[in-house]
Homo-oligomer: A and B are copies of this chain.
Amino acid sequence: MATIGDVARAAGVARSTASYALSGRRSVSDEVRERVRRAARELGYTPNAGARTLATSQTMVIALLARFLPDEFAPAMLQYIQGVSDSALEAGYDILLSSDPYGPAALKRITDSRMADGVVLLNVAEQDDRLPVLRSAPQPGALVGLPGDCTGVDVFDLDFEEAGRAMVEHLDALGHRELILVSQPEHVIERGGAYVWRLQNAALETAAARGVTLHAAYGSSSQPDIGRELHALLEAHPGATGLLLNNEAAAAALPTVMHERALSAPADLSVVGRYSDEFARSFSLPFSSIDAAPHRLGRMAVRQLVRRIEHQPTADGPHVVRLITPELLDRGSTAPPPDRQ
């Protein structure tokens, strides 16, 4: 493979001149620049990434630390990755993907060995064991997901509290007095998925404040369990006229369940979910929903990370915690409750 030395020799100049001609970091005569460029082109010269990194201490790589959890929802996961990947590409960075189940050690190795200029953490838990490592690393970090302690990192997430409020307020305004909320399984909370109770608590508080009855339940993350559970919940609360879903598996199962119970939305039951629009589209979920916006969150995290990387190490402003405001996309699955006598 051609090196900068080969290019310099072919162009009849010094290696430094070849380097400058290619990078444009100091002025070079038009003629020399042309000769160097031609030589580079003809030799098919591409700079060696390792050598450049060693010389500049810039890797132009962003590390993406993901966790492939068994009950993590695959379509959402892939969209986070896509968002990160797309915006890294735009900014000129490559992605180093790590899904080592033992996250802290993997992260430490990556940051210590200087394989990346910055780190994006996915599936962030309330008490995330990767955070202490990230805070003491020299590289900046951006998270998708809100941890208990946000110091030293930039954080991006959906405002799940607002989502919980918005769901309840929407149905309350339509006149519903009794609702059911189906959340992710309880073990998602146990491993630190704070978004589950953030949404649920806000929904419960809002319901209480408005005198709305809200039955909060945890649902399974896979079929057919979740289907059975939905049946049982609808049976147990015959007076409920609205259903809130913070559980993708439940959203996927609901059309069948409603069909089996001969219910239709919104005539018999109003339904509001929380999942990605992409998921809604590919499964044609007919329910109004709050967009989980995984692609957008991935993008935001990378954008901010790149800003930090490129302003480093001085002009780094205060760290941000950006919770995006839920938007309820109306798919017509909510309406005033049916009359019951």
Contacts and interface: CB of A to CB of B under 8 A. Distances in A.
Contacts of A48: 54, 113-114
Task: Quickly give the copy total for this chain.
Answer: 2
A209 interface: no
A132 to B, nearest CB: 14
A94 B99 contact: no
A113 B47 contact: yes
Given A1-B114, A113-B46, A283 B94 contact: no
B109 A98 contact: no
A263 interface: no
B115 A94 contact: yes
Interface string A63-81: 0100010000011011101
A44 B224 CA distance: 49
Contact of A51 (B44, B54, B259, B284): B54
Nearest to A73: B282
B252 A255 contact: no
Contact of A46 (B50, B64, B99, B112): B112
B85 A223 contact: no
Contacts of A249: 282
B44 A112 contact: yes
A94 B256 CA distance: 42
A39 to B, nearest CB: 16
A267 interface: no
Interface string A134-158: 0000100000000000000000000
Interface of A: 1, 44, 46-51, 53-54, 59, 61, 64, 68, 74-75, 77-79, 81-82, 85-86, 89, 94-100, 108-110, 112-115, 138, 221-224, 227, 249, 252-253, 255-256, 259-260, 278, 281-284
